């Protein structure tokens, strides 16, 4: 089996694990008004790469070693992995709204506000974000990881919650979206290299970095390992966004699962707009190389290197 085949087999297994857990963790019509429960599930189960949960699980397994072991590490990190997907999905629901990106296609299906109306779409996004933090506080329960003292489990949970909350809020994803909206206003000055990098680091990179870091935290990674995972996540996040910008220019809507060419049509700042396609590809490759170097410094492997390579090589 080639490294690529091994990664695809692992991704398929872990995506199935995450989807089963998401189905278990999400509210049902028995717990919440049916329209909200249905709208939440519509967006979560519309498909997607599940990259953020995959990063969390891969980082947990790569830093677990023999204690607590890869399977226990996956159990510890699975709730955080699912919470990250809920937060990511909420951000997509809100980004697609007419007041934001005004998009009608997401993950190959009509966006939530097209199907359920703007009000319900907003509320479903609010519910996904809130449910993510309910999940982070509740799971995993101590009896699921009996080898870990309850005090240590609580400490890891709190550190993971802080990491994810900072990445999702005004310092991270929300702040990046605010920069994006401001930059797209008529007459707004161009962002330039520093501004574009900051916007992407907050809007996309922060949650990708937090995904890897949160998984490593739940597995009990050392401080040196956490620093390396954080650097890895930062570089992978930038590479991911550069490739996203490239695909928005080159991709087809049917392949991407979202409307291609939207960024250019809206006059949004992107790497291809600033540097051209060839230089953008070079920068994505360079970010991937720096991500791999960060892992090499502390001898972390597992599936993390292959995920970084996949991020740059992907076509959707």
Residue 5, pLDDT > 50, answer: yes
Residues near 2 by beta carbon (within 8 Å), at least 6 away in sequence: none
Residue 24, pLDDT > 50, answer: yes
Q: For residues 151-178, give the mean pLDDT.
A: 97
Q: For residues 191-220, give the mean pLDDT.
A: 95
Residue whose token pair is 């993390």: 304
pLDDT band at 65 (very low <50, low <70, confident <90, very high): low
Would you state the CATH architecture of domain 3-222? Orthogonal Bundle (1.10)
Domain chopping of the chain, boundaries: 3-222
- The CA distance from 205 to 184, in Å, is 20
Residues near 178 by beta carbon (within 8 Å), at least 6 away in sequence: 170
What digits encode the pLDDT tens for the residues 31-59? 999 999 999 999 999 988 999 999 999 99
User: According to the model, what pLDDT value does residue 254 have?
Assistant: 45
Q: For residues 243-248, give the mean pLDDT.
A: 92
Q: For residues 87-102, give the mean pLDDT.
A: 95
pLDDT band at 68 (very low <50, low <70, confident <90, very high): low
Q: Answer for the pair 157, 136: CB distance below 8 angstroms, yes or no.
A: yes
- The CA distance from 164 to 158, in Å, is 10
The sign of the dihedral angle between the CA atoms of 24, 27, 29, 34 is negative
What digits encode the pLDDT tens for the residues 104-122? 998 889 999 999 999 999 9
Residues near 306 by beta carbon (within 8 Å), at least 6 away in sequence: 3, 4, 6, 7
User: According to the model, what pLDDT value does residue 257 have?
Assistant: 54
Residues near 30 by beta carbon (within 8 Å), at least 6 away in sequence: none
Share the mean pLDDT of the chain.
92
Q: What percent of the chain has pLDDT over 70?
A: 93
């Amino acid at each position: 089996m080639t490294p690529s085949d091994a990664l695809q087999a692992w991704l398929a297994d872990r995506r199935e694990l995450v989807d089963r857990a998401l189905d278990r963790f999400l509210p049902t019509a028995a717990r919440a008004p049916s329209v909200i429960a249905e709208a939440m599930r519509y967006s979560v189960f519309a498909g997607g790469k599940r990259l953020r949960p995959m990063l969390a699980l891969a980082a947990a397994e790569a830093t677990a070693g023999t204690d607590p072991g890869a399977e226990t590490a996956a159990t510890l990190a699975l709730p955080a992995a699912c919470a990250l997907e809920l937060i990511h999905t909420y951000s997509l629901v809100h980004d697609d709204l007419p007041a934001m990106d005004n998009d009608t296609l997401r993950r190959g299906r009509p966006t939530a506000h097209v199907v359920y109306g703007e009000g319900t779409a907003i509320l479903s996004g609010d519910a996904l974000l809130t449910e993510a933090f309910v999940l982070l506080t509740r799971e995993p329960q101590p009896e699921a990881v009996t080898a870990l003292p309850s005090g240590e489990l609580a400490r890891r949970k709190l550190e993971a919650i802080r990491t994810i909350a900072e990445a999702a809020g005004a310092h991270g994803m929300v702040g990046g979206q605010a920069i994006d909206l401001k930059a797209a206003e008529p007459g707004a000055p161009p962002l330039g290299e520093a501004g574009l990098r900051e916007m992407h680091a907050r809007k996309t990179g922060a949650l990708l970095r937090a995904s890897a870091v949160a998984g490593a935290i739940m597995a009990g990674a050392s401080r040196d390992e956490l620093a390396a995972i954080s650097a890895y996540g930062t570089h992978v996040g930038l590479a991911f966004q550069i490739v996203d910008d490239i695909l928005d220019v080159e991709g087809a809507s049917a392949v991407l699962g979202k409307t291609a060419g939207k960024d250019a049509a809206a006059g949004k700042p992107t790497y291809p707009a600033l540097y051209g396609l060839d230089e953008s590809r070079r920068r994505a490759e360079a970010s991937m190389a720096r991500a791999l170097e960060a892992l090499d410094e502390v001898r972390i492997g597992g599936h993390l290197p292959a995920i970084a390579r996949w991020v740059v090589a992907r076509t959707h």
